[in-house]
Structure 1
Amino acid sequence: MDWVTGEYELFEVHEPTVHSIPFVYNSPHSGRCYPVSFLESSRLNAYEIRRSEDHFVDELFSSATEIGAPLLKANFPRAYLDVNREPYELDQRMFDGALPSYANIGSMRVAGGLGTVPRIVAENMDIYAHRLPVDEGIHRIESIYKPYHACLRKLVSRTHASFGMAVLIDCHSMPGNIRLTGSNIRPDIIIGDRYGTSASAEISRAALYLLEELGFTAVCNKPYAGGFITEHYGRPVRSLHALQIEVNRALYVDEKTLVKTAEFYAVQSALDTFMRQLAMFVSEYANDMAFAAE
């Protein structure tokens, strides 16, 4: 699929032949289909506007369907609409006309230019050459954000009903220059569980252990603990677990050209192994929980 196009499916669900494991995979930021009207309204060129993409993350986790889980992927770009935010985190400075009273105009994400309709892409680059009509921002939320989350909720609910539990893996990438605060450690992967509130400690620890066994430098919650999706869908007390996974882009893509490197397929293969091993662990974990409840 061409990354610049006028017509495309806003998002799509790749279903397994049989939904055999209690997982849902989600790639909300890897969309690379840019509406022509959006490109024409931007002050950025076709390369610059892609800086906030989670490059090829949908492909990194594409084997989810082979191991028995659905994969929801956005085709619209994050720069156009960010579904990993509250529905109405909006920056009044971006719009002509007053925002509705229920809009959250004071969040830290809005202040940083990264609301539901983003003002900037990475490196503090303003997207728009002019202000947007308020109706345009609201239209994106009503026509894309809400249907996307309705689809994600349906997948999670279906999984929970079928298996008695659900594990949502929210898949992302991060810039290659990320370091842990106060150190020179560059994590390969960061697992976010909202500091233990969106998933059980056992599942989070297993994810970290499995990634480290595969040779990745993996850490938890710092500097990414999980966004709106992880926080909103993770309810461990109800057997609804949500983990955010951030993969360092420098492992698999040239961040200057935004082209896959030769290492892409090795990273993809390692993540496939991770997904299979985590599914096995969760199966055993669910059996242990059921046994303990008897």
Structure 2
Amino acid sequence: MIVTVRGEGPLIVSIPHAGLEIPEEIAPRLVSPARARHDADLYVDQLYAFAFKLGATLIRTTTSRTVIDVNRDPSGQTLYPGQFTTGLCPLVTFDGDPLYQPGQEPDAAEIARRRAAYFTPYHEALRTEIDRLRDLHPAIVLYEAHSIRSVVPKLFDGRLSEFNIGTNSGQSCAPELARSIAAICAEQQRSHVVDGRFKGGWTTRHYGQPDKGVHAIQMELAMRTYVEEVPAADWPPRWDDVHAAQAHAALRPILSAAIDFAKAQK
């Protein structure tokens, strides 16, 4: 299901990976529904709920990324050539563990069905909101809200920075927007990087057209910024108001800066 909460400000917060729902016809094919939910951007929808009070529009899907990843290239092309990453309909977890029982992986027809049922509606909703807000504002910011475990050896070395800003190597938004967000992270004394391991997914790359007034930027939070991460055996961690409040101290000015940036464009 796609959930859209409409605001009138020049900011869209897109949340493609917080969903945990797995349809009944897919669940029996999986090795474990719990394993299938392990790579969710846990609680990100709850973390960014405050954005509506700033005037932002929020869009999210309640469907698990294991079913289909709405932030991947629908053609199936990898976003990070030469690096491990999961696909449009992932077959393995971020740790490389199989998601499906042998012989139960989705074939081409099943992938096409999922695209029509889940991927296309998400992007139709997103395009509708982009067009609506562009009619109201000279420019808008599309902010892709993500999170990931702080340590995922198969995806990256060591411990991830807390705030990972992606701009598709400067192509998806004006450089001053990325600089302002990075400056807020620095002021908050939070570790951060611009266009490091995470440069932005398909949504950021596809919709980011600064010359047409759509500035797209991705924020990949290390989960320790808003929850106390736990060992895999104890997953998932619980929502933590204290950790979330600490994250909000940086996220509120970041989103406000994005709105101010969009309003300043001519």
Matched, 1:39 2:27: yes
Report the equivalent of 2:110.
136
Question: For 2:243 and 2:208, how far apart are their aligned partners in 1?
Answer: 27
Alignment of 1:108-123 (within 5 A): 112=84, 114-123=86-95
Matched, 1:74 2:61: yes
Alignment of 1:274-289 (within 5 A): 274-286=250-262, 288-289=264-265
- Number of corresponding residues: 260
Find the partner of 1:84 among 71, 80, 95.
71
- Give the gaps of 5 or more residues in structure 2: none
Q: CA RMSD in A?
A: 2.7
Alignment of 1:193-272 (within 5 A): 193-251=167-225, 252=227, 253-254=229-230, 256=232, 257-261=234-238, 264-272=240-248
Find the partner of 1:59 among 37, 46, 52.
46
TM-score, normalization: structure 1?
0.79
Matched, 1:159 2:133: yes
Question: For 1:85 and 1:39, how far apart are their aligned partners in 2?
Answer: 21
Report SS of the residue matched to 2:147: strand
Find the partner of 2:96 among 113, 124, 127.
124
Higher relative contact order (CA 8 A, sep 6+): 2
* CA displacement 1:37-78 (0-9 Å, x = unmatched): 2220112x2322222211111111111111111111110000
Contact 2:208 2:216 survives alignment (8 Å):
yes
* CA displacement 1:237-286 (0-9 Å, x = unmatched): 12210111011113314353334457x32443344444442354345445
Question: For 1:183 and 1:117, how far apart are their aligned partners in 2?
Answer: 25
Matched, 1:30 2:12: no
TM-score, normalization: structure 2?
0.87
Report SS of the residue matched to 1:77: coil
Matched, 1:11 2:2: yes
Deviation at 1:113, TM superposition (A): 6.5
Instruction: Pick closer, same or farther for the CA change 1:15–1:274 going to 2, 3 Å.
Output: farther
Report SS of the residue matched to 1:124: coil
Report the equivalent of 1:93.
none
Report the equivalent of 2:166.
192
User: Which amino acid in the other structure matches residue 235 of structure 2?
Assistant: L
Report SS of the residue matched to 2:54: coil
User: Which amino acid in the other structure matches residue 118 of structure 1?
Assistant: P
Report the equivalent of 1:98.
none
Instruction: Pick closer, same or farther for the CA change 1:52–1:236 going to 2, 3 Å.
Output: same
Identity over aligned pairs, percent: 22
- Give the gaps of 5 or more residues in structure 1: 1-9, 90-103
